[in-house]
């Protein structure tokens, strides 16, 4: 037998109801070309596996520090009774040898990202098959940016379609169109972010410009693809009238392909995850939008003829 195709997975969520219609299984792949200031899964950004620290499981025994031959793992001792020991990593010194992970008795250190074969993933997907059909759900491949592993994603989705399982691809769109073409025949739906219409501001907030993203959206629409557009709302960044109007006007160009606009209020839940990576969260001047602000944005898109919901 030849070598099996694998995907680098950092999480799998069963009974998911937020990543497409119905009840779904969402497979999150490692690696993303964007570095969004508001990212809620910063552990997914790196393309290589990393050993990260989960404070809730840590007893402060520091066995991992003693096991690290390169001196990458160190402990920051508490200054008050309320604080706990923090285990941090100097990534410039880390060789990813795994000694710290093996030495940890509680599982507080763990690899983020594991290679899974398509066969492995299909076995897990098939276990939840009864839920998909009854709810109109299926399988969503997300990330990170899943289309950075387009060959494996295409194979996984093809096998899902052979079993009549619904499929969705959650993508930022910042990939070569050739990667999108590989999954187009097997993707029922694209969950597609539109973060900012001004390319310079998009680059400031995400690390990349937006021309490729917008161009790919047009190409997907022209090829018959369908969208659930995701519009994350960050006050002081993209919720002003000028950007909302530009976003609406762009979406009107591909309106026949847009089944739904999901308005996503900003939250700061991802900030706590930076501690696991031994890095500080990026500075970002925004706040959680009010219910009134979100309702106005939903109304704005509805008045343009779109179906819009708060997600």
In the block, tokens 């990593």 appear at 89
Retrieve residue 21's tokens: 């219609």
Q: So what's the pLDDT on residue 84?
A: 87
Amino acid 134: pLDDT = 80
Q: Point out the least confidently predicted range of 72-81, 174-183, 293-302.
A: 72-81
Find, among 14, 6, 2, the residue nearest to 127 by Cα.
Answer: 14
pTM of the entire predicted model: 0.93
Cα–Cα separations (whole angstroms), residue 256 to 176, 219, 223, 259: 23, 13, 12, 8
Please determine, for residue 158, whether its predicted confidence score (pLDDT) is greater than 50.
Answer: yes
> What is the residue extent of each domain of the chain?
6-46+113-310, 50-112
> CATH for 50-112?
3.30.70.20
What is the DSSP annotation of the chain? Answer: -PPPPEEEEEEEEEEE-SSSSSSEEEEEES--S---TT-S-GGGS-SS-EEEE-GGG-----HHHHH-TTS-EEEE--SSTT---EEEE-TTT-----HHHHH-SSS-EEEE-EEEEHHHHHHHHHHTHHHHHHHT-EEEEESS-GGGGHHHHHHHHHHHHHTT-EEEEEE-S-S-HHHHHHHGGG-SEEEEE---SSHHHHHHHHSS-SHHHHHHHHHHHHTT--EEEEEEE-TTTT-SHHHHHHHHHHHHHTGGGEEEEEEEE---GGGGGGGGGTSPPPP----PPPHHHHHHHHHHHHHTT--EEE-
**pLDDT-based confidence at 4, cuts 50/70/90?**
confident
Q: State the Rg of the chain over Cα.
A: 21
Class of the 6-46+113-310 domain? Answer: alpha beta
Instruction: State the Cα–Cα distance between residues 227 and 177, nearest whole angstrom.
Output: 16
Return phi, psi of residue 193, to 5°: -80, 135
At 253-300, the pLDDT tens digits run 999 999 999 999 999 888 888 988 988 889 999 999 999 999 999 999
Q: What is the pLDDT of residue 122?
A: 96
**Phi, psi (deg, nearest 5) at residue 152:** -70, -40
188, 142, 23, 14 alpha-carbon torsion, rounded to 10°: 140
The band of 82, judged by pLDDT with boundaries at 50, 70 and 90, is confident
Q: In the numeric block, which tokens belong to residue 101?
A: 């992970």
How is residue 65 written in tokens?
A: 């520090």
Total residue count of the chain as it appears in this document: 311
pLDDT at 2 over 70: no
Lowest mean pLDDT among 46-55, 154-163, 211-220: 46-55
pLDDT of residue 1: 44
More confident residue, 225 or 16: 225
User: Would you state the pLDDT for residue 270?
Assistant: 82
pLDDT in tens, 102-132: 999 999 999 999 999 999 999 999 998 888 8
CA atoms within 13 A on the CB side of 245: 3
At 3, is the pLDDT very low, low, confident or very high (cuts 50, 70, 90)? low
């Amino acid at each position: 037998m030849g070598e099996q195709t694998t995907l680098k997975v950092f999480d799998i969520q069963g009974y998911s109801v937020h990543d497409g219609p119905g009840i779904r299984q969402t497979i999150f792949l490692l690696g993303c070309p964007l570095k969004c200031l508001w990212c809620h899964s910063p552990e997914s950004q790196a393309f290589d596996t990393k050993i990260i620290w989960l404070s809730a499981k840590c007893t402060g025994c520091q066995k991992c520090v003693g096991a690290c031959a390169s001196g990458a793992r160190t402990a920051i001792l508490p200054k008050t009774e309320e604080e706990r020991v923090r285990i941090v990593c100097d990534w410039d010194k880390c060789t990813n040898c795994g000694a710290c992970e093996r030495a940890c008795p509680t599982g507080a250190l763990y690899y983020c990202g594991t290679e899974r074969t398509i066969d492995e993933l299909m076995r897990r997907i098939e276990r939840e098959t009864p839920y998909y059909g009854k709810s109109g759900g299926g399988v969503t491949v997300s990330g990170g940016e899943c289309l950075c592993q387009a060959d494996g994603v295409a194979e996984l989705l093809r096998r899902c379609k052979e079993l009549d399982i619904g499929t969705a691809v959650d993508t930022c769109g910042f990939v070569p169109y050739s990667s999108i073409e590989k999954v187009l025949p097997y993707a029922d739906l694209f969950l597609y972010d539109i973060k900012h219409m001004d390319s310079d501001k998009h680059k400031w907030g995400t690390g990349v410009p937006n021309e490729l993203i917008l161009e790919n959206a047009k190409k997907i629409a022209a090829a018959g693809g369908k969208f659930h557009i995701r519009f994350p709302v960050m006050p002081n960044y993209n919720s002003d009238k000028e950007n909302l109007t530009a976003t609406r006007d762009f979406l009107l160009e591909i309106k026949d392909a847009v089944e739904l606009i999901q308005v996503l209020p900003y939250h700061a839940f991802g900030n706590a995850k930076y501690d696991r990576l031994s890095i500080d969260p990026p500075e970002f001047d925004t706040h959680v939008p009010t219910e009134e602000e979100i309702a106005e944005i939903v109304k704005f898109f509805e008045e343009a003829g779109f179906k819009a919901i708060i997600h």
